[in-house]
Structure 1
């Protein structure tokens, strides 16, 4: 069995602060395992590393428990969305249409 380690980073951010942790993990470490090893839940109370959505370099990883990391990859821990982006776009478009028509749509 290969005992080599690889270097990876795990990041998490809130609106007002962020943290990046550099880790040396065994080859074969999954995205979820790296997030759990990061210990970021100690710095961000309420962060659920076992269930948070995860990504690698800006792309969501649906199978974070199976996806094995490679040297130098960055694991990103995502926060839940506060608002549905589609609904926000619809609202913005309705407001813009109302402004062009000279009125303002009701909220």
Structure 2
């Protein structure tokens, strides 16, 4: 399993941003191999992180190759004050079951 974490400093959003963001989110959720997502905001820094979970690198690469994803990457400076992407392989995931999580009951390969 893999994660793709998109951390960014919010800027000024417009209708074009919201439409493109919704298109990419819909495509991610419709991609075979998509397992779920989480969004976090750091109250101290104001940074936002979107973490997407994938069952394979091939699933993640399918989204990364999409035209809308490339369009957003090229236009991001219009809406964001900076960003960082981290792709990681999940070695282990566990918890007490007290909270829902996209990787619950999915053993790492």
The answer, yes or no, to whether TM exceeds 0.5 is: no
Higher helix share: 2
Larger radius of gyration: 1
The interval holding the TM-score normalised by the smaller chain is under 0.3
TM-score by structure 1 length?
0.21
Higher strand share: 2
